[in-house]
Amino acid sequence: MNRNEINILIVDDEKIVRESLSEWFIEDGYRVDIAKDAVEALNKLNKIRYDIYFLDIKMPGMDGMELHRRIREIDKDAVVIIITAYAAVDTAVQALKEGAFDYITKPFDPDNLSHLLRNAARQRKLTKENIELRGSLEALTETPEIIGKSKHIAEVKELIKTVAKTTTTVIIRGESGTGKELVAQSIHAQSERRFSPLVSVNCGALSETLLESELFGHEKGAFTGAMYRRKGKLEIANGGTLFLDEIGTIGPKTQIDLLRAIESKEFTRLGGNEIIKSDFRVICATNKNLEEAVKKGDFREDLYYRLQVYTITLKPLRERPEDIPELVTFFIKRYKEKMNKPVEGIDTEALHLLMKYPWYGNVRELENAIERAMVVSKEKLLRRKDFLLNQADDKPQFSSNISLEEVEKAHILNVLEKNNWNISNSARLLGIDRVTIYKKLEKYGIKRPQNV
């Protein structure tokens, strides 16, 4: 920001001050405008914004203090310098408390004024840069898209919008695969904390000791193998959001520590004494019945109430089939780009099948089904034959007197047959690797038919 890009407005009822100051600033290369009182200044502000304002505190009519407040209302980032006589320093100090950049007493020491103006220009430049950078960052930060046209999804979006602006603890409930993490991402992305990290911890995937270390961090030597000091997720989430997935699975000791940390925003690393302060917002998710867990004594009641401030419940996909067409289109588009396949959509019969299917794995299962269909499809539209769904349109039914191994064998065989004995595709759908599928085939004595 060069000097000739900086606009200064001088507001003073004394002509000599206005003229001398403006001449002095113009000589230094700044762009200067003058106003004899607050009314003239505010009129000018209707047409143009200035970077730096010099306001005389004592003026007939509206004084400099009130004008300062009005300018702040119009431009909260304006750099305002109060001009005062020695007698009015108290008022100038009050102006500083209300956000003025600095004050200067008449007559000015040229050296002081010069330094003040340079600092004010630097401050303005930094503020402008900051606004620009935030703008570009905002453009880069995508708000995760929640897909669906149902009334339920509209309500969820509204709930997210409402709670995002606050720092309230949120609990997201819903079956596995309904998109709880996506909701957490959306809350974070719409909050004031979006420029700070969203730190996710899957509580269900870690043992209690590991989870404690993951959350609170540890000091060097805190336990065997703790060779270095490590920051915990609570510390990393400073300024941002901490997303605790599967909160219902955490052990009793971690529950107490977590409750204390959430309430005080203070904690110590494992094996350490230093109190760490961290400003994090908590969003958690669970697919468990927490009320039941509280009754059984598995989940602390105080922690339950601490987390249960604002609840967003996600309905299972089978209860909102009207969202399926939009989700299908979205996933087809996603995988079309990823796989570079010329699939344009889905035919009516297949879509009808998908809308009738109960989707016990919810959106995650639907996404996997679409991915699988995209892999096998050789046409422009996905067809019923591309989907490997239980055609009975209901939960898979097994007799209660067969063993788990028999179920597994039947399922593997079924998947292989549907995939024309393509091992890689079948392994991906089953969520296991190729070596495992070969071992299972050997274990269950399943042999590839000669004609495949």
CB of 22 to other proteins, least distance (A): 10
- Closest to other proteins by CB, 3 or 44: 3
CB of 20 to other proteins, least distance (A): 5
Residue 452 corresponds to which tokens in the numbers above?
Answer: 């495949």
- Closest to other proteins by CB, 20 or 238: 20
What sign for the dihedral angle of Cα 355, 359, 362, 365? negative
Could you please report the per-residue DSSP string of 192-246? Answer: GGGGS-EEEEEGGGS-HHHHHHHHHEE-TTSSTT--S-EE-HHHHTTTSEEEEET
Could you please report the per-residue DSSP string of 360-401? Answer: TTHHHHHHHHHHHHHHH--SSEE-GGG----TTSSSPP--TT
- Closest to other proteins by CB, 33 or 181: 33
252 binds other proteins (CB under 8 A): no
CB of 118 to other proteins, least distance (A): 11
Q: Tell me the backbone φ, ψ of residue 38, rounded to 5 degrees.
A: -65, -35
Residues 81, 36 contacting (CB under 8 angstroms)? no
CB of 109 to other proteins, least distance (A): 5
CB of 17 to other proteins, least distance (A): 5
Contact segment (CB under 8 A) with other proteins among 23-31, 34-42, 299-307, 417-425 equals 23-31
330 binds other proteins (CB under 8 A): no
- Closest to other proteins by CB, 107 or 221: 107
- Closest to other proteins by CB, 16 or 435: 16
H or E element at residue 105: strand 102-105
DSSP state of 345: E
Contact segment (CB under 8 A) with other proteins among 14-22, 33-41, 326-334, 423-431 equals 14-22
Q: Cα–Cα distance between 181 and 160 in angstroms, integer?
A: 12
**Single-letter amino acid, residue 401:** N
CB of 37 to other proteins, least distance (A): 18
- Contact mark string toward other proteins, 408..437, x via CB under 8 A: ------------------------------
| Binding footprint of other proteins, residue count (CB under 8 A) | 19
20 binds other proteins (CB under 8 A): yes
28 binds other proteins (CB under 8 A): yes
H or E element at residue 32: strand 31-35
Q: Which residues lie below 8 Å from residue 366, measured CB to CB, with a gap of 6+?
A: 317, 324, 327, 328, 331, 354, 359
Q: Cα–Cα distance between 274 and 267 in angstroms, integer?
A: 8
Q: How far is CA 186 from the centre of its chain?
A: 5
- Closest to other proteins by CB, 109 or 155: 109
Residues 179, 160 contacting (CB under 8 angstroms)? no
- Closest to other proteins by CB, 85 or 430: 85
Contact segment (CB under 8 A) with other proteins among 27-35, 249-257, 271-279, 416-424 equals 27-35
User: Within positions 70 to 129, which residues make up the interface with other proteins, using CB under 8 A?
Assistant: 106-111, 113-114
- Closest to other proteins by CB, 109 or 405: 109
Beta strands in 250-378 (DSSP E): 266-268, 275-277, 281-286, 310-314, 345-346
CB of 106 to other proteins, least distance (A): 7
- Closest to other proteins by CB, 113 or 182: 113
16 binds other proteins (CB under 8 A): yes
Which own/partner pairs from 21-28 qualify as long-range (CB within 8 Å, at least 24 positions apart)? 21/54, 24/110, 24/113, 25/117, 28/3, 28/114, 28/117
Question: How wide is the angle at C-alpha 140 spanned by C-alphas 196 and 132, nearest 5°?
Answer: 80
Contact segment (CB under 8 A) with other proteins among 25-33, 148-156, 169-177, 239-247 equals 25-33
- Closest to other proteins by CB, 89 or 113: 113
Q: Cα–Cα distance between 343 and 404 in angstroms, integer?
A: 38
- Catalog residues that contact other proteins under the rule CB under 8 A: 3, 16-17, 20-21, 23-24, 26-29, 106-111, 113-114
